[in-house]
Amino acid sequence: MKNIALITGVTGQDGSYLSEFLLEKGYDVHGIIRRSSVDYRERIAHLEGTPNFHLHYADMSDSMSLVKLVGKVQPTEIYNLAAQSHVQVSFDAPEFTADVDAVGVLRLLEAVRTNHLEKTCKIYQASTSELYGKVEEVPQNENTPFHPYSPYAVAKLYGFWIVKEYREAYNMYCCSGILFNHESERRGETFVTRKITLAAARIAQGKQDCLYLGNMDSLRDWGYAKDYVECMWLILQQEKPEDFVIATGVQHSVREFTQLAFHHAGIELKFEGKDMDEKGICVSVINPANEHLIGKTLVAVSEDFYRPTDVVNLWGDPTKAKAKLGWNPQTTSFEQLVEIMVEHDMAKVAAEDVASRVRTNLAEYLEKGIVK
Ligand code: NAP
Ligand code: G4F
């Protein structure tokens, strides 16, 4: 039987890596896209036009679109990655977050049942370490109690339980990957890691003066997204549907991430002060052109990036995934991850500069009639 995957959230960080992974395995990959005023889908632009890659309009808030699409595609595997995935935004848009991240999961499960695909279609639900929230145990594993601590986490908790319920009530192959934070050069620019790597690149190239962050004491178990999508697939290849924690088993603070990212951008930082008064001060630079930065505050704290309730101690225990999925959580180390992201963003920022110089020159040449 041909493997046919339906990916919701195909335009996101994970959706783009998962599409590449499944296409390489010979799957027919179908992805759900939303109507947007901007048509360019940066993360999957390179896949559009690939014969086995198909995009369809639908929305997690629109049951009818999901029922029709599942019926048309007849998937053998569904990866439900679509979500309003930003924790801080979930405090500003809690109802939308609940609609997409909680009820959206139910709509998708019902779309499978409505099309009578319960016996032939396996479903992966993108669950999250945010379920542990105000953590009750460190490190966290599949048996750690949940204590969600944001509207996002509460919505995702519903998603987790409704998947479990449908597995038990209707004997469906549906399960959750409880994934800890995973990052990459494709990470959204307002998540803390990408915000830091882009700022380090911009500061090193004279395009930004200072990076403002929220809680730098916050601890995360950060992995590489490209490694994590393999687990999503492995979870659906097991004989029995089960939930898995996916994490590296190594924990770092936002401050440590920042220090290492600036190091890779050629800037050494020393942190001084506490809480709102904490500052990252430049103590040395590699590039002589950046010597003027020495002694300057390049990282500071802003209240704007603090959350009403913050999850501050995430640390996953991937023992079960290692044993049952045969997955290596250390394929890409924390140090390599930070280096990959900074290297990418140094090149991106440099290219933006070239692109903007070309635009400025072109405007000038057009004005002077040098080019027509
Ligand atoms: P992401 O980059 O923010 O991508 C989210 C995707 O969901 C985008 O394709 C987005 O489409 C789509 N989407 C949002 N609302 C939708 C709607 N109403 N209907 C259809 N599609 C919708 O997220 P990610 O980092 O790839 O994460 C993938 C999934 O894993 C999410 O469910 C996230 O909550 C979960 N997760 C992520 C992490 C992590 O560290 N990355 C950890 C644990 C769990 P547009 O492009 O149109 O906005
Ligand atoms: O990068 P973050 O925004 O990711 P967060 O909240 O951990 O959520 C991500 O990972 C979850 C898995 O645990 C996913 F479910 C979720 O979809 C998303 O992908 O923030 C990480 C930490 C937080 O404690 C935050 O308070 O960094 C802290 N932080 C400090 N300064 C900041 C900032 N976060 C952001 N976004 N921006 C800051 O300036």
Is 152 in the active site? yes
Query: How far is CA 21 from each of CA 40, 205, 327, rounded to the nearest angstrom?
Result: 22, 34, 15
272 in helix, strand or coil? strand
**pLDDT at residue 313 tops 80:** yes
34 lines ligand 1 (CB under 6 A): yes
Mean pLDDT of 198-211: 98
Mean pLDDT of 26-44: 95
| Predicted local confidence at residue 366, as pLDDT | 64
Distance CA 360, CA 356 (A): 6
**Ligand 2: residue whose CA is nearest its atom 21:** 192
Mean pLDDT of 158-165: 99
CA 113 to ligand 1 center in whole angstroms: 23
31 lines ligand 1 (CB under 6 A): no
Determine the Cα angle at 48 with ends 44 and 54, to 5°. Answer: 100
**357 confidence band (pLDDT: 50, 70, 90):** low
Percentage of the chain lying above the pLDDT 90 cut: 94
The answer to which of 116-125, 292-301, 347-356 has the lowest mean pLDDT is: 347-356
Q: Give the model confidence (pLDDT) of 252-280 as tens digits.
A: 999 999 999 999 999 999 999 999 999 99
12 lines ligand 1 (CB under 6 A): yes
CA 192 to ligand 2 center in whole angstroms: 6
Burial environment of residue 208 by CB neighbours within 10 A (0 to 12, 13 to 18, 19 or more): middle
The number of the ligand 2 atom at minimal distance from the alpha carbon of 153 is 15
**pLDDT at residue 370 tops 90:** no
Average pLDDT, the chain: 96
Q: Give the model confidence (pLDDT) of 171-195 as tens digits.
A: 999 999 999 999 999 999 999 999 9
150 lines ligand 2 (CB under 6 A): no
